[in-house]
Amino acid sequence: MAALRFEIPLSALLAISVAACASAPPPASAAPATPAPAPATPPPTAPTASAAANDPANAAPTTEPPKAKAPALAPFAPPAGFTWLQASADYVLAAREGAASGDGKCEVWQISTQKKVAELTGNDVAAGGANVVCTALSPAGRFVLYGNGRRSAWKNWKDQTTTCSGVMAPDDSSCIDDDTTPFAFQPKSGPAANLDLFWSKPVPKGPHKKVATIPRGLNRSGPGDKWWTVRYCSPDKAVIDITNGARITVDAKTGAAKTSKSDGSAICP
């Protein structure tokens, strides 16, 4: 028996292939990857009160106003090894600097002429105790106060120790004691130790008069423990006022004293 043989024209095969391609679904396209969402940012946390207070950015300004510079005592520099201590009227007092101040040397200079007018030492002021040093210039500039805690005295430009101590008159014409040294203090509860105050002239071995007595004025614990005031109201008048006690008015030229009751009014009205 003879075998069967089928032949398909080439054109038919091409037609079938084209139809198959046209009817087949298109290949799926790969979708682009979607990025994962970013994690949510937490809201800022408000600082606590203590943290805010400690944060330098929140600190209040700490700038302090500049401190006022002390006015110069003289328009020129002090001599080498000295420093200006005090100015009064047309004069300025120069004291030794540092450890050298213990030698007691001081100078007085006139401001208007810028010339030295006096050289002084601590001689003949006090025997014993600490070194005698200059501490003040009188109101008119003619005397320098020296002391060492045992005794004090005003010295003139000739380096002479005067009878004066205490408060000096505005014109340097007289003085009145206002205190004494700690070496004389007595216990507060001990026997009465009165304090006598004297008016004096600022000359060597000059006249002096007792013008007031402070009852128990030496029964004290220290120099600041005072209940009286000595003040010059003018070159002619001084007043010693004892709290809850007497008020003594002193003629500053003669030392004559008049006592009345202290009424608490102004000492120098």
pLDDT digits 0-9 by tens, 128-157? 778 899 999 999 999 999 998 788 999 999
Q: Which long-range contacts (CB under 8 A, 24 or more apart) does 176-182 make?
A: 176/200, 176/211, 176/230, 176/232, 176/238, 176/240, 176/250, 177/230, 178/228, 178/230, 179/223, 179/226, 180/218, 181/149, 181/150, 181/151, 181/152, 182/149, 182/222, 182/223
Under 8 Å between Cβ of 148 and 137: no
> β-pairing, 257-261 with 246-251?
antiparallel
The alpha helices in the chain, defined as continuous H runs, are: 10-23, 49-54
For residue 67, which amino acid is it? K
Integer CA distances (angstroms), 112 to 19, 37, 80, 89, in order: 129, 88, 20, 10
Predicted confidence (pLDDT) at residue 57 exceeds the cutoff of 50: yes
Mean pLDDT of the chain: 83
Confidence bin at 59 (pLDDT 50/70/90): low
Count of Cβ atoms closer than 10 Å to residue 48 Cβ: 9
* pLDDT value at residue 18: 42
Spell 115-136 as b/e; 16+ CB within 10 A means b.
Answer: eeebebebeebbeeeeebbbbb
- Among the residue ranges 91-100, 142-151, 177-186, 199-208, the one predicted with the least confidence is 177-186
Predicted confidence (pLDDT) at residue 95 exceeds the cutoff of 50: yes
Q: Domain ranges for the chain, please list them.
A: 73-161, 171-269
